[in-house]
Structure formats: structure tokens, C-alpha cells
Amino acid sequence: MTKLTTFHRIGLLLILFSPALLIGRELNNDLWFLLSSGRYVMENGFPVIEPFTLHQHFAFVMQQWLSSVLFWLVYHTFGQIGPLILTSLVFGLLIFIHFRLALLVAKNHFLLAYGVTLFSAIGIYPFMVTRPYIFSTLVLLLELYLLELYIARGKIIYLSYLPILSLLLINLHAALWPLFFILGIPYLVDALRFKIGPISGQGYSILPLLWAFFLALPIAVLNPYRLQAIRYLFRSYGHPEINRIVSEMKGLDLKSISGLIFFGFIAISLAVYWWNRQGAFRLRYVLLISGLLVMALSSARSFMLFAGLAQFPIAFYLFPRTCEASLPQQLIGQTKQPQARPKRVVHIAIALTLIILIVECMLLFLPHELPNARYTRLDTIIAALPESESVILYTGYNEGAYLEFCGYKPYIDARADVFLQENNGQKDVMQEYYDLQAGRLHYQEFMARYQFTHVLLGENDILRAYLARDNQYQLIKSVGEFQLYQKHS
């Protein structure tokens, strides 16, 4: 076994970071309400009344305002390619921080850190889209990195950055802010020096940790919505109608391809932990992995957190078994044996990776606008609508955000939490929408409540069956999966 040369390390790192340039080229549907939000903040300041839908006087907390502004600024500057460039950069930072964290817990073992980080990058790859959780995951990973640096080096300076991360998270993605403190619990428990059977704490200094998290709590009020943003998570989750409508809030489904892939990833991850169960014990890792695993199994969206935050301990558990027992020390870089001649296959792999990276860079950075057939069809529908001031518009859950971005005020969009009575203080629109789609609310009663002048229907909207037989509405445009009805004067 030969020692890794600098050339090989650079080549492997290029491969490691290549997923950041392989992100999808289509804009996520949620981006449109984020762009509307960012544009609104830049032009009008922070809203406290919901400004994008036809509903009046809904109390409103723009809990993702900073993420929205960032997306809007890059979109406004670079066009549709801007948010994709930003997503690619954030993905690269996630890979870099994870690699540094894995190196730390694996005592600078390059190959172990490399393999674990590549495994994590593969897991989070499907979630690298234009959504705020890319920023919140990066902040949470930085939190874990700082905590591990404090434990490894014993310097309090690393903990001084935790309040700053808390401030960033509450403004980037307030709904995930409580998780900042939840992730700290395993580290606080492990700081206690105790032993109960096979369970024991490592016993490092807990007082600096307590002070860091104590200071991270009040600094979070430095956001435009103060305590409302802090309490946002507790008012926005656990609603059955959201879990039924929003697919990503459902648990992992073994009947779907994505569910099988996610379960396979989890199974491989847990198998590695189980195989090394006789190695060194760290209570914080057990608690961290267990908590994130429960979250991943309860909702598909939380799988990203498990893939991004729960994999670095693998490097720790593999290190005692592989590095100290079986793997040659040359791989750790501790010897100065002569380097063997690099194998041609390694050179070919690195050359091919470079070619792929160059091509991907050209595809990612050169185009200004990206064609998207779905939004092209929606543009055709929108062209048939009159001026927005004269339109009372119904859209389904998935179509509303794009219509908002184009200047219309639809019935609903994909911000499920905004339409809960606990948040808006007026009406449970999510329950109303669910009852309509489930056939529990008669469509004529629903239409009479709002007096819609126009109805835009997606592929699976139940109103397609009703309006096709309703003489009060006329189909004026049909493009692909979309239909546009207009009410007779």
C-alpha cells in the first residue's frame, strides 16, 4: 500500500467536490414565493400582514426572510442561473465543513474523512435545491464542527461563535432555529462525567458550553419578528392536513424509489455503526444519531439532516478499528516511505473528473436563462389572464407561488404554515383546502365563499371534474396539465 501523494489528494478532493457542480438545473417550485418575499423585503421592508394572496389581514411572519433576500439578490443579478450558482456554492461549503469535521474526529486520516464525506454528500445531493434548508443545514453543521473543535482542543474561543450561528439561523430559517439547541443536548449530556453500566459521559468542561448556549438564546430576538419568529416552529408543525398534502412531511415510503434509496442509505450507515459497536464509545454520537434517525423516519424532508449531520461520527468509529489495527500507517501519512509510481488508472480517473468539472462549470455558469417546460406552460396560461387587479384567482397548492411572482394574488400557495389559523389569526385555509380536495366541502359552497373570477387547475385538482360540468364556468385555456376557467359575467 503506497502513501497518497499530493497529486492524488488533489485529484480525490476534486472528485469529492464534484457533486456541488452536478445539482439539478430546474428551479424548485418553492423558489417563486421566496423570490416574491425577497423582492418585497427589498422594496417595502418586513411585512406583518400577508401580502401575496387574496386573503385579507392575515397576520404574517416571514420566517425565511434572509434566505429569500439572498435568493432574490442573485436572481435579480444573474437571472435564473443565480439561485443555482448560490445552491452550488452552499453545497460546496457543506462538503468542505463536513470533510474538516470528519478529519477532526478521525485524527487527520485523509481516506476515512474522504469516504465518510463522500457518503454524506451522496445522501444530501437530492436535497440540494433552491430551498432555505440548504442554509440552515450549513449553519447546523458549523455548530457541530465548533463543538467538536472545543472538545478536541479545549479552546473556549470556538464556542464564542455559537451565538452568531444562532442569530444567523433565526433569520435564515426560523422554523429550524429550535434544532440549534436540540443538537446541543447530546454534547451537554456527554460533558457530564458518569457511568451507568455501558453508558458513560466523556466528561469535558460543561460550563463554557452552558454559557455559549445561554448567550445564543437571547441573541435570537435580533430578528424582525422578535419572539414570534422564535415560537414559529411550535405553531407550524404537527398538523395532519399538512402531512397529508405536503409529500415531504410524510414518513419514508418503501413503496417509492426515493424511499427505497433513503432506507438503503440509512441501512448502510447503521450497518457501519453496528459493525464497529465494540469500538470507542461516545455518548454524544449515540444520542445525535438516534435523534436525527427518528426525524428522518418521521418525515422525508428530515432525511437531509440525517445524511448531512449524522455521518461524521462514522469516521470516529472506523478510526480505532481500521487505523490502529489493520490499515497500514502509510495511509495516515505518518511515515516517509518512498512513494510508488502513481497508477495510470488513478490518473485517468482524475483526468475524466477534471473534464466533467469543466463541462459542468460551463453548463452552470454560462447560460443566463434556463428553459423549464412547466413554467413555459404556466406563462401561456397567464397570458390569457386579464390584469391582476380585476382577477379573483383560485390556484392549487403547487401553482400559487409562480402566480404570486407574476403579480397575481391567488387563493393558496406552497407556504403551508402561512395558512394555519395558529399563524394567521384568521382562518384555517389549509383545512379548507384539504376538505375541498378530499370531497368533504362541496365545491359550489367553496366557490361561493370567494366568488372567483378565474380558476387555474393543475393535473390532480378535484375541481377539474366539477367545473367541466358547471355552466357558470367556461374553459378558456388548456395547456399541458393546466386548465384555466373563467366565470361567466
Match 463554557 to its residue by C-alpha cell: 208
The string over 437-452, giving b where at least 16 C-beta atoms fall within 10 Å of a residue's C-beta and e elsewhere, is beeebeeeebbeeeeb
Q: Residue 410 forms beta bridges with which residues?
A: 393
| Strand runs labelled E in 108-164 | none
Q: pTM for this structure? A: 0.88
Cα 51–404–430 angle (5° rounding)?
Answer: 70
Mean pLDDT, 10 residues at a time, the chain of 489 residues:
65 79 83 98 98 96 98 96 94 96 92 88 90 97 98 96 98 96 97 88 95 97 96 77 66 68 77 64 90 87 92 82 41 38 49 56 51 86 91 96 96 94 94 94 96 96 96 95 93
| Chain-centre distance for alpha carbon 175 | 12
Please report the pLDDT score of residue 241 as a whole number. Answer: 66
List C-alpha distances in Å: 49 to 57, 72, 173, 417, 458: 6, 20, 19, 14, 28
Alpha helix positions (H), 106-219 = 110-124, 133-153, 162-172, 177-182, 185-190, 207-216
Phi and psi based region of residue 3 (left: phi greater than 0; alpha: psi -120 to 50; beta: remaining): beta
Distance, CA of 268 to CA of 455 (rounded, Å): 47
Closest alpha carbon to 131 in 90, 164, 95, 93: 90
For helices 429-437 and 443-450, what crossing angle results, to 10°?
140
**What is the reported pLDDT for 262?**
74
Q: Is 320 helix (H, G, I), strand (E, B) or coil?
A: helix
